[in-house]
Amino acid sequence: MWDFRNGEIINVWNDRWIPTLPLPLKDLVPTAHFIVTVSQLIDFSSLTWNLSLLQSLFPSSIIQAIQQLRIPLYGHDKLRWCLTKSENFSVSSTYSHLSSPHSTSSTSQQIFPWLKLWHLSVHAWVLLFLWKCLSSCLPTRNHLSSFIDLPTQLCPFCTQKPKTVFHLFTGCDYTQAVWFSPPFNYNLSRVGHLDFHSWVKSWFTDHFVFGFSAVGIPEIAAVISWQIWKARCNLIFKNIFIPPLQLANLIFKSLNQWLQSSHHTPLLQPPSFASKWNPPPSSLIKINVDASWSSNSSTAGLGLIARDCAGSFRGARCLTVPALDAEHAECLAILHAIFWAQELSIYNVYIEGDNQAVLSFLNTGQGSIHWRNHNILDDAIKLLSVFHFHVYKYVSRDCNRVADRLAAYARRNSSTKTWGLDVPPFLVDVLLQDQSLLPVSASHIDPNVSNVTATTCISLLSS
């Protein structure tokens, strides 16, 4: 598949260049046309798609798919191996594709790595639990309702959707909070396109990455899943609700005991309830970024928040953009932060985000991000090359709460909006919490720097 950059060597009709379409556009070739390359579909004066030309060539569904493609600022088209995230050809990826041409659950089960699963260094009851999950034998409400009448099929945690295996371990808000708690920091929104078998298979690949470095990633994922099941049973049969952070803490302790008994290094740090946002050096403006992706609409909300060395609010922006997945959205958040910094004439900038793979790529040029997102970060690196000074840094979600709330607001409200020095009311409480944790010397707010004082924030909060 082609990694679209400038479109000069990609054939519109014969090449595959639209990620959301499985095949080239051969069947849509008009009888008389002059269009050959993708670059001919672009208005380079405004760096936008030529809508009138698209409308004369394609049906509305294809036009929509094309318009969702961002037009990169720099670079040349590249041919990629689309069966791997890294773009590198492998025999195993080819075999998996040929063995499972339609990615059905039945073929997925046939090539499932059962041998690796049975050799996991966990208790036998955890292995039995995983086998039940993968064999559709786990007694969830959705499964039991096929045999007996139940008062409800809804998930006992969120009470919003039927409790299937996939919902319980990946889709429920409660579950997502557990997986995303420190030190795990695993964002489940990135697996929305997978079925349960494929998700468990990903435990055995390099693409399943937690917010820390440790051995035994499949074992850790298995234990977290099993503990979530135990928490569900406690809620249903004993009416005991364990908050997500408390459950994450219990899981962390049990995992450390397992690692120590297995002669492995314990996890780097326990869940931290004191993690806090830190201000940038005096000469810099810090922009925190985050993204909130919806698999249902393939759109994402982006949140950007700017603050100075005193913790003073210097502006905020939220946007709604099309996005293929959560990682794609996180990359777009970085790029839009740079666009915003340019608009504000800020050329000494400190950018923070909570996606470790994306920030690692920006800092080292290496990482496990998908090849189709390289063009976004390549543009970001090129744009920042003219800045006087810039820093990228990965932080935990606890240190990125304001940007997280902005991104969620944008997604839920399909909102694109910019705030100058007037604090959005829905951010007041988290801004105050961040500022209350700063040292006295840092948290002093100079009224000449910002018109947002603690008194102003408190009055907004109480209104």
For residue range 11-37, list pLDDT tens digits in order. Answer: 999 999 998 888 889 888 887 778 899
Of 262, 293, 324, the one marking the end of a domain is 262
Residues 246 and 159 occupy one common structural domain: yes
* In-domain check, residue 463: no
Which of residues 289 and 251 earns the better pLDDT score? 289
Q: What pLDDT score does 275 carry?
A: 66
The yes-or-no verdict on residue 452 having pLDDT over 80 is no
* In-domain check, residue 154: yes
Strand partners of residue 318: 303, 417
Strand partners of residue 291: 302
Query: Could you give the dihedral angle defined by the CA atoms of residues 33, 38, 42 and 48, in that order, rounded to the nearest 10 degrees?
Result: 130
Q: Using 50, 70 and 90 to split pLDDT, how confident is the model at 264?
A: low
The yes-or-no verdict on residue 101 having pLDDT over 80 is no
Q: Using 50, 70 and 90 to split pLDDT, how confident is the model at 447?
A: very low
Kindly state the average pLDDT of the residues 220-228: 91
Which of residues 82 and 307 earns the better pLDDT score? 307
Question: 204, 218 in Cβ contact below 8 A?
Answer: yes
Whole-angstrom distance, CA of residue 320 vs CA of residue 14 = 32
* In-domain check, residue 361: yes
> Could you tell me which of 341, 308, 277 has the C-alpha nearest to residue 450?
308
Kindly state the average pLDDT of the residues 176-203: 77
Residues 56 and 150 occupy one common structural domain: no
Residues 248 and 336 occupy one common structural domain: no
Looking at every residue in the chain, the average pLDDT score rounds to 82
**Which of 212-221, 239-248, 334-343, 432-441 has maximum average pLDDT?**
334-343
Percent of the chain with pLDDT over 70: 83
Q: Using 50, 70 and 90 to split pLDDT, how confident is the model at 43?
A: very high
The angle formed by the CA atoms of residues 105, 108 and 110, to the nearest 5 degrees, is 115
* In-domain check, residue 342: yes
Kindly state the average pLDDT of the residues 84-113: 62
Amino acid at 357: A
The yes-or-no verdict on residue 449 having pLDDT over 50 is no
Across 103-107, 152-156, 395-399, least confident range: 103-107
Local structure of 307: helix, strand or coil: strand
Residues 299 and 374 occupy one common structural domain: yes
Residue-range definition of the domain harbouring residue 208: 114-262
Kindly state the average pLDDT of the residues 362-368: 79
Residues 318 and 390 occupy one common structural domain: yes
Residues 244 and 351 occupy one common structural domain: no
Residues 228 and 134 occupy one common structural domain: yes
Kindly state the average pLDDT of the residues 255-261: 71
Per-position DSSP letters for 15-50, written without gaps between them: S---TT-SS-SGGG--SS----BGGGGEETTTTEE-
Which of residues 89 and 284 earns the better pLDDT score? 284
Residues 318 and 255 occupy one common structural domain: no
* In-domain check, residue 11: yes
The yes-or-no verdict on residue 107 having pLDDT over 60 is no
> Could you tell me which of 156, 112, 126 has the C-alpha nearest to residue 216?
126
* In-domain check, residue 37: yes
Q: What pLDDT score does 192 carry?
A: 58
The yes-or-no verdict on residue 355 having pLDDT over 60 is yes
Question: 162, 153 in Cβ contact below 8 A?
Answer: yes
Q: Using 50, 70 and 90 to split pLDDT, how confident is the model at 261?
A: low
Task: Give tens-digit pLDDT for 54-93.
Answer: 999 999 999 999 998 999 999 899 988 887 777 777 777 7
Residue 359, both tokens = 């920030």
Q: What pLDDT score does 205 carry?
A: 72
**What CATH number does residue 427 fall under?**
3.30.420.10
Q: What pLDDT score does 375 carry?
A: 93
**In this structure, how many other beta carbons lie within 10 angstroms of the beta carbon of residue 425?**
11
Q: What pLDDT score does 184 carry?
A: 78
* In-domain check, residue 386: yes
Left if phi > 0, otherwise alpha if psi is -120 to 50, otherwise beta: which for 321? beta
Q: What pLDDT score does 462 carry?
A: 41
Q: Look at the chain and report how many structural domains it folds into.
A: 3
Q: Using 50, 70 and 90 to split pLDDT, how confident is the model at 380?
A: very high
* In-domain check, residue 93: no
Across 150-154, 203-207, 300-304, 383-387, least confident range: 203-207
Amino acid at 246: Q
Q: What pLDDT score does 450 carry?
A: 40
Residues 353 and 421 occupy one common structural domain: yes
Q: Using 50, 70 and 90 to split pLDDT, how confident is the model at 424?
A: very high
Q: Using 50, 70 and 90 to split pLDDT, how confident is the model at 272?
A: very low
Residues 258 and 292 occupy one common structural domain: no
Residues 294 and 427 occupy one common structural domain: yes
Left if phi > 0, otherwise alpha if psi is -120 to 50, otherwise beta: which for 268? alpha
Across 56-70, 108-122, 150-164, least confident range: 108-122
Q: Using 50, 70 and 90 to split pLDDT, how confident is the model at 212?
A: low
Kindly state the average pLDDT of the residues 264-284: 66
Residues 299 and 398 occupy one common structural domain: yes
Which of residues 358 and 93 earns the better pLDDT score? 358
Across 141-145, 176-180, 330-334, 359-363, least confident range: 141-145
Overall residue count recorded for the chain in this entry: 463
